Amino acid sequence: MIDFTRRDFLRNATVAGAMTFGGPMMALPSLAGSARETGYYRYTIGDIKCTALYDGVWKKEHADDFIRNASVAETKQALSKGGLSMEHVTIEFSQTLLETSGKKVLIDPGTGGQWVPTAGTMIQNMAGAGVAPGDIDTILISHFHPDHIFGMMEKETNAQVFPDAEIIVPEAEFAFWTDPQVFTKLPKPWHGLVQRIQATFPKWPNVRRVASDVEVVPGIRSLSAPGHTPGHTAYHVSSGDAQLIVAGDVAITPALFVANPGWQVTFDADPERAEQTRRSLFDRVIADGAGIAGYHFGFPNAGKVLKDGSGYAFVPYAG
């Protein structure tokens, strides 16, 4: 059972050096000032052009139950150590846009301005990068939490924002949320989300379900990464010797959950499995010399994960 509390639900209504992503990697000269101000950040994975898109930030108030096995005092200490404000938990939202084999592929289309009032700028920043919604050929979904899928549907009507794009969703994730019995597995405040999912994904003709470890687009494979949700999925991007794992919510806010991979955020459905997934994915990234992009890794959201004592450290490319 996904363990979300009612209070959680209602509360929610410098260049890092010449690193390589497991092969040739080049930061393209798109930045004029800070990446957040520009709203997008370009880099490459081999021959694949990548753009990180900024969607905004949630300055989440502290709560005793936000991290199951860490206190608010420990949380504040970790935030300070990571160079973040201790006044709140900074949770940023960012998407990954890939251009490969003549296709534009968007991974997790953002909040749509329907999560917190300080997020919802993805479409605007995508336009700044020269891409319109109609240019998107494929959308890949990591999981069905609202901050990852609401950007696909208009607020009042659920009309598709990307009607011409193929939407690829993890088979296990789709099965969980569209099961008629899911209402018995989730607290009542989450039933509205379930109803919205069941009113859209099963009825949209452009949705395709895929299993794990399959090539979904040339150069991109689905990678099972459960724990955050039952069907949570990462995506492995490769071109030649260059690799990138787009990790979704395997970890959020690196100062907290990359540095402390054993901490259990309240949003994880299965905390122990989420930790196992987190550690194994980070170890794989390090062993393969791959890059990583995290949906809540700040901005830009792409960089390297390094081993750091009993935990890990995320080193972004530029800021």
CA distance 25 to 242: 7
Q: Which two tokens stand for residue 19?
A: 């690193």
Above 70 in pLDDT, residue 229? Answer: yes
Helix (H, G, I), strand (E, B) or coil at 178: helix
For residue 254, give the H/E element and its range. Answer: helix 254-257
Query: What amino acid is encoded at 60 in this protein?
Result: K
In the chain, the amino acid numbered 287 is A
* Token reading at 82: 């990571």
pLDDT at 32 > cutoff 70: no
Q: Cβ neighbours of residue 83 under 8 Å, at least 6 residues apart? A: 255
Q: What percent of the chain has pLDDT over 90?
A: 87
Predicted local distance difference test score (pLDDT) of residue 295: 98
Report d(CA 286, CA 273) in Å as an integer: 20
CB 48 within 8 A of CB 60: no
* Structure token digits, residue 197: 């999912």
Own/partner pairs, 33-37, CB within 8 angstroms, 24+ separation: 34/319, 35/299, 35/300, 35/318, 35/319, 36/299, 36/319
Is there a contact between 88 and 63 (Cβ–Cβ < 8 Å)?
Answer: no
Residues belonging to the chain: 319
Q: Which amino acid is at 88?
A: H
Domains of the chain: 6-316 (3.60.15.10)
pLDDT greater than 60 at residue 5: no
CA distance 186 to 246: 27
At residue 7, does pLDDT exceed 60? Answer: no
Binning pLDDT at 50, 70 and 90, where does residue 94 land?
very high
Residue 238's Cβ-count burial label (10 Å; 0-12, 13-18, 19+) is: buried
CB count in 10 Å sphere of residue 96: 25
pLDDT for residue 3:
35
Sheet holding 207-210, edge to edge: 40-45, 48-60, 89-100, 103-107, 138-140, 166-170, 207-210
pLDDT digits (tens, 9 = 90+) for 96-125: 999 999 999 999 999 999 999 999 999 999
Helix (H, G, I), strand (E, B) or coil at 75: helix
Q: Phi and psi for 90 in degrees, rounded to 5?
A: -85, 115
Report the percent of the chain where pLDDT is more than 70: 89
- 236 with 243: CB under 8 angstroms? yes
Q: Per residue in 51-81, pLDDT tens?
A: 999 999 999 999 999 999 999 999 999 999 9
In 108-251 the beta strands, taken as DSSP E runs, fall at 138-140, 166-170, 207-210, 215-217, 220-224, 233-239, 242-246
* pTM (predicted TM-score): 0.89
Token digits for 124? 């605007």
Q: Which helix (H) or strand (E) holds 305?
A: strand 302-308
Confidence of residue 35 (pLDDT cuts 50, 70, 90): confident
Mean pLDDT, the chain, integer? 90
**Cα–Cα–Cα angle for 265, 266, 268, rounded to 5 degrees:** 75
In tens, the pLDDT along 125-161 reads 999 999 999 999 999 999 999 999 999 999 999 999 9
Q: Where are the alpha helices (DSSP H) in 94-242?
A: 122-128, 146-149, 171-178, 191-200
